[in-house]
Amino acid sequence: MMRLLRWLVAPLGRLRLRHKLALSLSIAALVPVAVVATIAGGVVLGGLERGLESETQRQLDVGLNLLLRTVERYGADAVRVASTNDLSRAMATGKGAVSALIAREAPLLPAALVQVKDASGQAVLDQVIGGDTARFEGLGLAADAPLVRAGQAWAQRVNLDVITVPTPDGAPGEPRLVVRAVAPIVDESFALQGVVVLSVPLDADFADAIKGALGAEVMIAPRTATEALSTFRDPLGERAPTVAIGTGIAAQAAAGRRVLATAEISGGEYAVAWTALVDVEDHPVGLFGVAIDRGPVASAKQVAFRSLAIGGAVALGFALALAAWLGRRLGAPIARLHRGAIAVARGDLDHAIDIPRGDEIGELAEAFAHMTTTLKENQQRLAARMREIVALHDAGRAVSSVIDLDQVLRKIVDSVARTFDVRLCALWVASAGADGAITLRLGAARSLGRNLRTTLMGSEGAIQARPLLPLAAEVAQARRAILVPRLAEDERRAAIAQLAGIDGSLLAAPLERKGVVVGVIVVGRNADHRSFSDADANLLATFADQAAAAVENARLYDEVRGSSEELERKVRLRTSELTAMNQELGKALADLRDAQAQLILSERLAGLGLLVAGVAHEVNSPSAAIRGSADAMGEVVRRLTSHTVTLAELQVAPEIRRAVIEAAEALAPIVAQRRLPTGAGVRRAARELRGRIDLEGIADPAEIALALVEVGAEPDEAIALCAACTGPARPQLIPLAVGYLTEAANLHRNAHVIQAAIRRIQRIVGALKTYSHLDQQATSSQTDLHEGIEITLALLDYALRDIVVTRRFGRLPLVPAYVDELNQVWTNLIQNAVQALKGRGSIAIETEPHGPGVMVRIIDDGPGIPADVMPRIFEPFFTTKPKGEGTGLGLGIVRQIVEKHGGTVRCESVPGRTAFEVWLPIGAGVAPRAATPVPVEADLAAEVSS
Amino acid sequence: MRGLLLPIALLAAGCDLSGWFSSEPAGGVSNNRDPDTLVVARSSDARELDPALPFDNESIEVIDQIYERLVRWQPTTTALEPGLATSWEVGDGGRLWTFHLRPGVRFHDGTAMNADAVVFSLERQRDPKHPFHRDRFQYWQNQFRNIIKVEKVDDLTVRVAIEQPYAPFEANMAMFPVSIVSPTAVARWGDDFTSHPSGTGPFMLERWDRGQRIVLKRNDDYWDSDHKAALERVVFQVIEDPRQRLIALESGAVDVATQILPEELQFVDLHPGLRLHETPSNSVTYLAMNNDHPPFDDVDVRRAVNYAINKEPIVKLAYQGLAIAASGPLPPTQWGYHKVRAQYPYDPARARALLHDAQVRGRFDPSKTYSLYVPSTPRPYLFDPARVARVIQANLAEVGLHTELVLQPYSQHQRSMQRGEHDLCLFGWVGDNGDPDNFLFLLFDRDNTVIGSAQNAAFYRDAEVHGLLSLAQTSEDKADRERLYARVQERIAEDAPWVPLAHSQVAIAARTDVGDVIVNPNGHMVYARARRLRR
């Protein structure tokens, strides 16, 4: 098994990664599609089948009930005919009378064979009524039939029976199902006169009657039959031949089960259901079945299949597209990696591979980058070495290209100085005396001045180099190079070098020609420079040799020139590759910018979602206030009406009544504006008021005074109101006027609350509209920063419930800005602060003009940002919040937007004070205009909730 | 690549998936009902569920499910077996009954069933001074008035003292009025206990929408763990119209329908999805002849009437076959039934001859018209009273005895009978404790001929019968009692104070998927045994 699988899978290994990916994704997509299609097919088709099944069952139930009701009715008909006293009288008269009576009853009877027998069972009448006599041929009952006997014992009975009527030639006929109803004929004293028997065959005609009421094809068969009589007809309306009953159906039905099946009947497919017909003893005597055309289901199935096929195809297409997209998406970084590898192979070690870190490819890219860095370092080292060699070559060429010794010497010094990048280079020429003593003469020297700018040549360089003579002499004497990597470790030489202005390292080498020292070259570097290495020493020795053997350098020159040309070619090639690479980089940068813009948009949408939740919350409490007030108003209006009615019923002059109402109406809006008086002052004020108003004759003057004070009326106003109540009914009028005033004032107060709540909702809706800038284009416009900040605060109000927000707004000029993007900045920063505060604390928002721009600071007194997190807070996707609380984009986006506006954002944080500073420049040519802060209805919440 | 295997396997299995979504085809009409709930359609709702109160059959049927008695009938017979009492003995010459209660039984409300509960259940009916006694507790006065005192002996023993030795007492203790009720529930609900019943039965009341339905749910803590109800719920649904009841049954909306119209029995019989369950009811329908009114004080006249009436058309035509012709007062299923020697087959000639003799003797006046009192409302034992009355009237006219029918509503009819206003009276009796005494003493003893409260509609007073019945009441030996009752039946047959007409049968129509439909002689299904057949 595993081997087979491996054999199957092996060719896949040779595919391209992208194709592999596409293949696996297609399979992964196709399989669920197939499974879903199969399951859905199962559900849909199963549902159709079940629907048809239950419909068939239902039709069977209804059909069976119809059949049995019909049978029952035959019984009732038999009883009705038998129990008409006329029949017992007619029996006494004779057959003719009976026949006439039955003929009279015929219209009320079903098509049946009617038999009337006398008390001894002798036939009085055998008559077919309402139909074709052939249908009833042979159905009659003999005198000794059990059913006739039962009727003679007064039994009223209906039963189903199977009979076999022999054919005229004597052969046994087909079994037939018959309904028989018997009823005793009794006279007034219940004496038995005879029996009536109705026989009706359960045949195709009978089935037609049931079909007419049912709407399904009906089939009826005797118990033993293999074919059923049915209501099926051919296209010309001729009765179709019998319908075959499936094997086993009769047995199953007889066992009391209903049988459901599918059958091919007269060219169509039908769902059929069968049940047994039983006699009164519960013995199965026949089968009853219904058939429902499966045509509609078949076409429904077709539709379902077609829909599933189309759906499957669409799903597959989608899966393939997804696979292609994913393939490209995964393939692209690999291709980039591939390009990088090729570039490196070509030698382009500066090729940057732009793959986001995180996944395995990213890790690979990182490793790759590390590898190229190492390569690049090695290459740089090689290149340096090569540069030295080139320099050496140049020097050799230069040396050998001139004949003049001084020139040669200067060239040597220049070359060495350039090659070794030294502070000082000096060349002594040795001349051997006759005694073999060597005399050193400073041939050429070159020194960098103290300010590192001036090069001291000639005599000045010589002066600088002169103190090194003992060292040169030592070298000449020893005929070997001296390397002092760190002068600090060699006190003696350090002292010498100090005089020459060298404090780093020293290198000196003899120039030998065929065993004779012809000169000494000394180079020195300061401590701020790399110290000489053995390689340098070797190089200098070589150089010394070269210098010594100027003549022989011609051969070396030729060799070196050849390699130099090759090098030049390589350099040119790489330069052109670099240019191409640069262009690619530029394009990648542009892509990155697009992606960032996309990220900003999605973050804004997420923010908007959060805001909407808040807004819904915000709108709720004013709505509740409106509802509450509206409810209260209903009650107030009811009381007001009741006062009005009482007033109307009072026996006073109309003008007095009008005056009272006008006074109360005028006072109501005034007192409604006032705060409701509370506390101990109320009682005192009421006592005082009582002293000032004439409340003569009023039932409870203290109560009236208290009510007037409680409604908020000033003493003068109260007096004026009471003064309006004149005439003999004054004692009744005053309480009414006070009541009226109280309710009218309540009405006004409730109206105020509703208005305030509506204002609040309007403000929130307005803020939301402005925030999302639905009505503006996303273009830069001169913006009042305060407005944006206020809108943001308004929308975040629900989150700021337990936070003290302090605004310190300076006078700001308008700022050119993309308003909605800046709102995003405020939202993110304020939300950040809210989350840092965990919903409790204080936030300060400060604005001020700052240099050529404006500064906005959002400061919270939360725990602060840890120092280790601080450097990363503006990185995209960096978050310290639990999963789901922050995308990690917030502050990154803040920086993006601010930088897009040419501004800066920075953060300072210590525990207890975290400040985000956003600085935005004022665009050139924009006239500063004072921005007006949006008034905030801070007291509104209290007003609404009261 | 192993991941590929599962989807491929699923694909392969997909061909058969359709099978997962289709259930087995239902055996009958699908009606989305809980198969653990049995819905019973009845013609009217129960009136009271306090066992001390009801007279109506509908209430008693529900009470039988909720409560139990110290003694109970075996499910299909009138034989007794232990109920809440595990055993009992009788002492003091038959005057002191001691019941030993079943331990560990609890009422539906959690109260323990003990001697206190038994004493409470009986004493509240017996003792007019009992705080929970109500004057409405009328049933007590009929069969239980001989109880003097009910006492607690210990926590699980109760002693009942009765006035004089009375053998049927044992069977009486199986009757619904002496159901043991939770004293806590009665104390809590007071008069409203009838709406908040709490017994120990296999079912407890879950909901009662008065006039519409009663929902009983299974008592999962039923003490008889072998006979916990098989079904979770039984719903008694009121469907007044008998035809509508049958339609609801056909449609599967209900599982059981009671009181099917006789003319529709054939439909049920022929329907393969429905079954008719017929059980002889413990009842008798009779024509009583007032022995105080001539000519029915003459035994020959009474015998002539017996010969004159053709019972066959009555049971066939008026009962649609749901009855058997009666030859004596006891139904054949009642223990103590005895086939008497004196039989009165339909013989109008002999009747005429007897009447003629009587006329000659001056005891019978054929020119007179005698009153035949008939209830106008159907009774469980008399489906179509008027029709039966007309057959009787015609039969009697045939032999020269002329009658006028006095049709009255049942309560009026009963009052007239108790006052003895009738010459002839069509009446019936449903035995309520399964004891022969319940038929014979009540219906034939001279003690029950008191004008105004008589149960003995024939006003038949026979010293021998009285002696035999009294003896049987005090005898503790069942075989002895059977002999005594056989003698009583012979004597009654000879004296012919009645024409026993029919023992009706109870027919309950049920869907064929309801199994173990056991109908007890009261005509009630034993719902605790019923179960749903799954096909």
Kindly report, residue by residue over A251-261, the tens digit of the pLDDT. Answer: 888 777 788 88
Based on the number of CB atoms within 10 Å of its own CB, is A436 exposed (0-12), middle (13-18) or buried (19 or more)?
A: exposed
For A352, other C-beta atoms within 10 Å of its C-beta total: 15
- Token pair, residue B525, equals 């299904």
pLDDT band at A224; cut points 50, 70, 90: confident
How many angstroms from the chain centroid is the CA of residue B224?
24
Q: Is residue A803 scored above 60 in pLDDT? A: yes
Residue of chain A nearest B534, judged by CA positions: A257
Residue with tokens 């975290």: A914
Q: Which of A851, A846, A764, A861 is nearest to A804 (CA)?
A: A861
What is the Cα gyration radius of chain A?
58
Which SS3 state, helix, strand or coil, does residue B152 take? Answer: strand
Distance separating alpha carbons of residues A937 and A941, to the nearest angstrom = 8
pLDDT at B535 (0 to 100): 54
| pLDDT tens sequence across A738-770 | 888 888 888 888 888 888 888 877 777 776 666
Q: What DSSP string runs through A5-21? A: HHHHHHHHHTS-HHHHH
Q: What is the pLDDT of residue A599?
A: 67
What pLDDT was estimated at residue B459? 95
> Is residue A181 within 8 Å of A78, Cβ to Cβ?
yes
Assign a CATH topology to domain A774-945.
Heat Shock Protein 90 (3.30.565)
Give the three-class secondary structure for B485. Answer: helix
Q: Find all residues with CB under 8 Å of A225, minimum gap 6, and list them.
A: A174, A175, A245, A287
Least confident of A185-199, A639-653, A917-931, B493-507: A917-931
Listed ranges A525-539, A808-822, B331-345; the one with the highest mean pLDDT: B331-345
Q: Say if CB B315 and CB B489 are below 8 A apart.
A: no
- pLDDT tens string for chain B (535 positions)? 444 444 444 444 444 444 444 344 434 444 567 888 999 999 889 888 999 988 778 888 899 999 999 998 887 777 888 999 999 998 888 889 999 999 999 999 999 999 999 999 999 999 889 999 988 887 787 778 889 999 999 999 999 999 888 888 888 898 888 999 999 999 999 889 999 999 999 999 999 999 899 999 999 999 988 889 999 999 999 998 888 898 899 888 899 998 887 778 888 888 888 888 888 888 999 999 999 998 999 999 999 999 999 998 888 888 877 889 999 999 988 889 999 988 899 999 999 999 999 999 999 999 998 999 998 777 878 878 888 888 898 899 989 999 888 888 788 888 899 999 999 999 999 887 788 998 999 899 999 898 888 889 999 999 999 999 999 988 878 889 999 999 999 999 999 999 999 998 888 899 988 988 888 766 778 888 888 887 5
In this prediction, residue A396 has a pLDDT band, given cuts at 50, 70 and 90, of low
Which range among A591-600, A919-928, B114-123, B363-372 shows the weakest confidence by mean pLDDT?
A919-928
The CATH classification of domain B68-187, taken from the options 3.40.350.10, 3.40.50.300, 3.40.50.1980, 3.90.76.10: 3.90.76.10
Distances (CA, A) of A799 to A839, A864, B412: 7, 19, 81
Interface contact flag, A160 B270, Cβ < 8 Å? yes
Q: Is the dihedral of CA B424, B427, B433, B434 positive or negative?
A: positive
Report helix angle B436-444 to B478-495, nearest 10: 40
Pairwise CB contact (< 8 Å): B269 & A280: yes
B310–A153 C-beta distance less than 8 A: no
Our CA angle for A341, A347, A348, nearest 5°, is: 75
pLDDT tens digits for A144-177? 888 888 888 888 888 888 888 777 777 777 888 8
CA distance B13 to B15: 5
- Answer for the pair A892, A877: CB distance below 8 angstroms, yes or no: yes
pLDDT at residue A938 tops 50? no
The answer to whether the CB atoms of A61 and B310 lie below 8 A apart is no
What is the full DSSP assignment across B421-484? --SEEEEEEE-SSS-HHHHHHHHH-GGG--TTT---TT----HHHHHHHHHHHH---HHHHHHH
The answer to whether B102 and B162 have CB atoms below 8 angstroms apart is no
B316 lies within 8 A of chain A by CB: yes
Would the pLDDT of A133 be above 70? yes
Name the residue facing B270 among A35, A184, A280 (closest C-beta).
A280
What number is the average pLDDT over the span A297-308? 79
Give me the residue from A153, A191, A256 closest to B316, CB to CB: A153
Cα gap A140→A120, rounded to integer Å: 16
| Residue A924 scores a pLDDT above 80 | no
Could you list the beta-strand ranges (E) of A526-647: none
Contact B305, B350 (CB under 8 A): no
A56: nearest CA partner in chain B: B29
Furthest-apart CA atoms within chain A: distance in Å: 191
| Kind and range of the H or E run holding B316 | none
Q: Is the model's pLDDT at A931 over the cut of 60?
A: no
A window 228-257, beta carbon within 8 A of B? 256-257
Nearest to A162 by CA among A43, A42, A287, A248: A287
* B512/A contact by beta carbon, under 8 A: yes
Residue B332's nearest CA partner among B392, B279, B388, B265 is B279
Q: Tell me how crowded residue A478 is: count the other CB atoms within 10 A of its CB.
A: 12
User: Which fold would CATH assign to domain B283-505?
Assistant: Dipeptide-binding Protein; domain 3 (3.10.105)
Long-range CB contacts (within 8 A, 24+) of A586-595: A588/A354, A592/A354
- Burial of residue A611 (number of CB atoms within 10 Å: 0-12, 13-18, 19+): buried
For residue B154, the model assigns a pLDDT of 93
Work out the number of other CB atoms within 10 angstroms of the CB of residue A756. 21
Q: Are B50 and B197 in contact (CB under 8 A)?
A: yes
Partner residue opposite A190 with nearest CB, options B28, B250, B391 = B391
pLDDT at residue A453 in the model: 45
Give me the residue label for tokens 């030996």. Answer: B477
Rounded-to-integer distance, Cα B496 and Cα B288, Å: 9
State whether B266 and A279 contact (CB < 8 Å): no
Cβ contact A186–B313 (<8 Å): yes
CB-based contacts of A334: which residues, under 8 Å, 6+ apart?
A: A17, A361
Query: What DSSP character marks residue A182?
Result: E
Model confidence pLDDT, tens digit, residues A839-849: 788 888 888 88
Residues of A in contact with B392 (CB under 8 A): none
Q: Does A15 touch chain B (CB under 8 A)?
A: no
CB atoms within 10 A of CB A185: 27
Taking only the tens place, the pLDDT of each residue in A230-250 is 888 877 888 877 788 877 887
Section A355-374 average pLDDT: 78
User: Residue A540 pLDDT > 70, yes or no?
Assistant: yes
Contacting B residues, span 121-160, partner chain A, CB-CB under 8 Å: none
Domains of chain B, by residue range, sit at 27-43+202-271+512-535, 68-187, 283-505
Whether residues B17 and A38 touch (CB distance < 8 A) is answered with: yes
At the top level of CATH, the class of B27-43+202-271+512-535 is alpha beta
Q: Could you tell me if A193 lies within 8 Å of chain B, comparing CB atoms?
A: no
Q: Which residues contact A196 (CB under 8 A, 6 or more apart)?
A: A78, A81, A82, A87, A114, A115, A116, A151, A182, A183, A185
Residues in B touching A192 (Cβ below 8 Å): 313
Is A27–B7 a contact, with Cβ atoms under 8 angstroms apart?
A: yes
Residue A771: phi and psi, rounded to 5, are -55, -50
Give the whole-angstrom CA distance, residue A350 versus residue A365: 14
Strand partners, A227: A244
Percentage of chain A modeled with pLDDT above 70: 84
Residues in B closer than 8 angstroms to A34, CB to CB, are 7, 11, 14
Of all residues in chain A, the one with the smallest CA distance to B322 is: A155
Give the residue from B2, B15, B269 with the most A CB atoms within 10 Å of its CB, the best one to mutate.
B269
> Which CATH superfamily groups domain A380-551?
GAF domain (3.30.450.40)
The length of chain B in residues reads: 535
Once rounded to an integer, what is the mean pLDDT over residues A455-465?
66
Query: A608 by DSSP, 3-state: which?
Result: helix
Q: Are B300 and B366 in contact (CB under 8 A)?
A: no
- For A175-179, the CB contacts below 8 A with 24+ separation are A175/A222, A175/A223, A175/A224, A175/A225, A176/A139, A176/A201, A176/A202, A176/A203, A176/A222, A177/A201, A177/A202, A177/A203, A177/A220, A177/A221, A177/A222, A177/A277, A177/A285, A177/A286, A178/A139, A178/A202, A179/A70, A179/A71, A179/A74
pLDDT of residue B29: 43
CB A205 within 8 A of CB A231: no
Q: State yes or no: pLDDT of A942 exceeds 60.
A: no
Q: Where are the domains of chain A?
A: 380-551, 581-772, 774-945
* H/E stretch holding A857: strand A853-860
Q: What is the pLDDT of residue A404?
A: 61
